[in-house]
Structure 1
């Protein structure tokens, strides 16, 4: 399928981030997707990871905390509780049967959230996040499943190249599952590539952590290999794997070295195809944001209203959006969940040339677009209604309109649930909990920096103190 600018010189893309659901995709999510497609009339849809809620109770038998786990071995306590509430119990079946059941459930989820796109005849492409694989079906197999649906643009490995890395040599536009280029030709039909949409697999969790103090040891792909080669560290990991927090203690991952190399190689290939050797204008989409996203923020005192605390490598500091760098309408609702180390992805894009923007998902409550040293960094918030995120009206899908004469001067805006459908979803209690979810001290302090929340807590505390005081007085009399 060839992507091409329209006769009027525009090309429209919808970014859907963090659908993050199980086989029974939330009806409000589907409604939002359908309405956004109807309003935007897009030429392409990009799914930027965490389409699958890998820790959903539906996948309890095959859940993987890390890719080297035994399926179902380390199910988190919250998932067990949710499964009990829903009446979901582990099946007494063999591993092969359990995986086949999971595959069908993943297909059900795909069929549900892709239906608005396939019905409208809009092509789509998908990359992966840190939760997709946790259902037990890894990215390469999910790629095959996506290609079962009409309009999927994820490239296929050639018969002579069964592995993703071997396929890289056969198809210069593809590197690995979730990392590939989608050239967009000029409107005149002459075949010149006017811009490219780059999909990047940003990884899931960091590969290893120190083995001191009971922390997990080196991460390896295969648990049997781990048992044989690293019996002590594997035991530490198995015993100390976190029960509640899905983010491993080693932090989040980054694009692979092969993907970083490919960012430059693919630009050289596109330049050769155009015959001028020049990199083409390109925008990249991925799941986990790089550390440079923090450059769109400004550090503020801890007591500043609406400030959010940084995470992990940026912990202990508070931030607000830097209005001098961010577009109007930008929203910061939580810390930037980047990797602890900078892998050099943005630097690689700058060196390759042509890249003008990188957009991510992952952090469900963020929806800003910032410009740092001539390079755009932006978010789409969650468009799903099963996971945490902002209030219903602010969940949405990002629309891009690119212009053939200057793709870097693109227009973008959010198509929100509030704009397209209404202020309230079908389950406002769930949304409210997800909007005010407290999982640690930092998230609690972030909540208390919201004036309305602080006022409510203060009023409730005063009322409680009043009741206790009068109760004590009555006892004395």
Structure 2
């Protein structure tokens, strides 16, 4: 496309002349790029964590956040699927290594644990924090049939069970991406510690998400991380990606003219559980890929993943257990109580639970701080945390759950996170939580949810309402701390 025609197309798109076109400006332009207004917008959705029967309020929040933010791209940062849901009891697996694996994971384990599943001691004892611990192991019915001497029947049973699980996961994916598909908003997906528990590996889930218009997850079957992958069959035909593994890839974002890369957006599969106990870390290949991203993208990048890093504790301040709103740390940090360090965190931040991270550092933070190749990392996982701060020259952020199918804050505090990038300083985005109470109002469900906040901000500081509409409070600054008894709600992290 000539520069003159490209500029004319940008003007038509941003002036609203293309009625009926996708809500995402980048989708209209064919690539992720800054608008002529100098802006680029992104939504993070963390911990949707739903079974096949997706809560109506989860879908309402996703739809309302898209309408309010009009994002170029939506990023799901893991645990879209509540793999412990009883609907998956026939294929449920508590840990990857507890049952036969297939796809990329069996290959990874055969190379000596290259996927980071059997490395250093990384966390929680087996069984803690998982879903349905008493569910039948993956393939249990199949093995039973095989024991009767009919291996062929056993394999058919297993195939039917997995096919049923695929159909259920497809139903969840269709419902949570529905608001995006309807509005023409591209999306990208990485994975958490519960997605795989349904019995499907991430390459299988990747294939399911790619069935829906707008999915930017590239094929990782024959990935060449050092070469750009053209997303010609996607809603962004002019977009390129660098791909390592399912859920681990980088998307360059172009300047206003659609030329050079202004920044990169990296989705990283941060792992799930370690064989020695607790939460795992990214695979060795993923960490090597992360180290090569600045060279591949040609500019600084921002990382989105499910699991927080141990360095998130750098944003907290150790306090006495009798301190108001203090929360106990997790595992390696559980001998201490914490509140947010106001000198390191931004206005509107709140802490509702200890940061659940691996005990030991995988080296990821060192990669992030090496040669100024990255400027930020945002995670989910801790459903009741919503804070942003800076340490070691990197902005770290925790985003609360946007779903209503698991534990979390009170309904009005469940949120999507909006990022607004400015071409004048693209590596210093502004961010705010778009909360259910502001966007939607009252939940349709009569459930009572658990909520705890350990820190109440005392002033709005420099917080800015990115929606620029009266009635929205930047970052939910006036929320009250409290503990509401859980009444039948799930508590799976």
Q: TM-score, normalised by structure 2?
A: 0.72
Give the secondary structure class of the aligned counterpart of 2:181: helix
The whole-number CA distance in structure 2 between the counterparts of 1:310 and 1:54 is 26
Tell me how far 1:169 sits from its aligned partner: 5.1
Give 1:180's aligned residue.
249
Give deviations 1:343-389, integer Å, cap 9, x for gaps.
Answer: 11111011152311100000000000011132100011000001000
1:48 aligns with 2:77: yes
Q: Which residue of 1 aligns with 2:379?
A: 360
Q: CA deviation at 1:305?
A: 1.4
What is the rounded CA distance, in whole Å, between the counterparts of 2:31 and 2:178 in structure 1? 21
Distance 1:142 1:376, change over 3 A: same
Are positions 1:254 and 2:281 aligned together?
Answer: yes
Is 1:370 the counterpart of 2:378? The answer is no
5 Å matches for 1:128-139? 128-139=191-202
Q: What secondary structure does 1:346 align onto?
A: helix
Among 248, 253, 269, the residue aligned to 2:296: 269
Deviation string 1:57-90 (CA, Å, 9 cap, x unpaired) is 111110011112338xx9999748999xxxxxx9
Question: Is residue 2:56 matched to residue 1:37?
Answer: no
Q: Say which SS state the counterpart of residue 371 (structure 1) adopts.
A: strand
Q: 2:41 aligns with which of 12, 28, 46?
A: 12
Which residue in 1 is equivalent to 2:166? 103
> What residue is the counterpart of 1:68 in the other structure?
97
Once the two structures are superposed, the pairs formed by residues 236-385 of structure 1 within 5 Å of their partners are: 250-271=277-298, 280-385=299-404
Contact 1:60 1:75 survives alignment (8 Å): no
Which residue of structure 1 lines up, in the alignment, with residue 179 of structure 2?
116
Whether contact under 8 Å (1:281, 1:407) holds in the other structure is no
Q: CA separation in 1, counterparts of 2:483 and 2:78? A: 31
Which residue matches 2:11? none
Name the SS of the counterpart of 1:426 in structure 2: coil
Q: Deviations over 1:84-110 (max 9, x none)?
A: xxxxxx999811100000000000000
Query: How many pairs align?
Result: 377
Residues 407-432 of structure 1, C-alpha deviations (whole Å, 9 max, x = no match): 1221100000011111x322343x42
Determine if contact 1:308/1:333 at 8 Å carries over to the other structure.
Answer: yes
Taking structure 1 as reference, are residues 375 and 170 closer, same or farther at Cα in structure 2, changes over 3 Å only? closer
Aligned to 1:204: 272
Give 1 or 2: higher helix fraction. Answer: 1
Change (3 A) 1:406 1:100: same
Gaps of 5+ in 2: 1-29, 101-125, 146-155, 230-241, 454-479, 486-493
Per-residue deviation, residues 263-307 of structure 1 (Å, max 9, x unmatched):
221211222xxxxxxxx1311100000100000000000111111
Unaligned segments of structure 1, at least 5 residues: 84-89, 210-249, 272-279, 438-449, 457-477
Distance 1:149 1:388, change over 3 A: same
Q: Distance in 2 between matches of 1:69 and 1:80?
A: 13
Give, in whole Å, the separation in 1 of the partners of 2:353 and 2:368. Answer: 26
In structure 2, relative to structure 1, the CA distance for the partners of 1:23 and 1:317 (3 Å cut) is same
Q: TM-score, normalised by structure 1?
A: 0.74
Distance 1:360 1:329 in 2: 17
Q: Cα 1:453–1:345, aligned 2, differ >3 Å: closer, same or farther? A: closer
Q: Describe the SS at the equivalent of 2:97.
A: coil
